[in-house]
Amino acid sequence: MKKYLLYILLFFLLVTVVDVTVGKSLDYCLNHLKGGEYHSLQYAMKETKADILVFGSSRAINHYVPKVIEDSLGMTCYNCGFHAQGIIFQYGRLLIY
């Protein structure tokens, strides 16, 4: 009986170690991206200091050009749009800013 309890304990210990290791590795990779949509998402949430933020789904990404907004208003602008995400996702991001 004690032998089975030891095996069960070792199994859960192994699963925990693997879970933490994989989680930390993926978190590191996500935070050190150099390009793509997820880099844009991380940059918008952590580093941008723009005066104007454009929120929305793929329509915001494809139809609003930050450079045009910057030139016409004289303020900095960043497009925070993200493909296939609706108002609930964008509202959560707004609360983070």
The pLDDT value given to residue 10: 96
Query: What six digits make up the tokens of 57?
Result: 């789904």
Give yes or no for residue 45 having a pLDDT over 80: no
Q: What is the pLDDT of residues 86-95, one digit of tens each?
A: 788 888 877 8
Ramachandran area for residue 76 (φ above 0: left; ψ -120 to 50: alpha; else beta): beta
Look at residue 16 in the predicted model and tell me its pLDDT. 97
Helix (H, G, I), strand (E, B) or coil at 35: coil
Q: Is the pLDDT at 21 greater than 90, yes or no?
A: yes
Please state the rounded mean pLDDT for residues 20-31: 92
Encode 6-39 in three state secondary structure: HHHHHHHHHHHHHHHHHHHHHHHHHHCCCCCHHH
Structure tokens that stand for 85 in this block: 């995400």
The mean per-residue pLDDT over the stretch 37-66 comes to 82
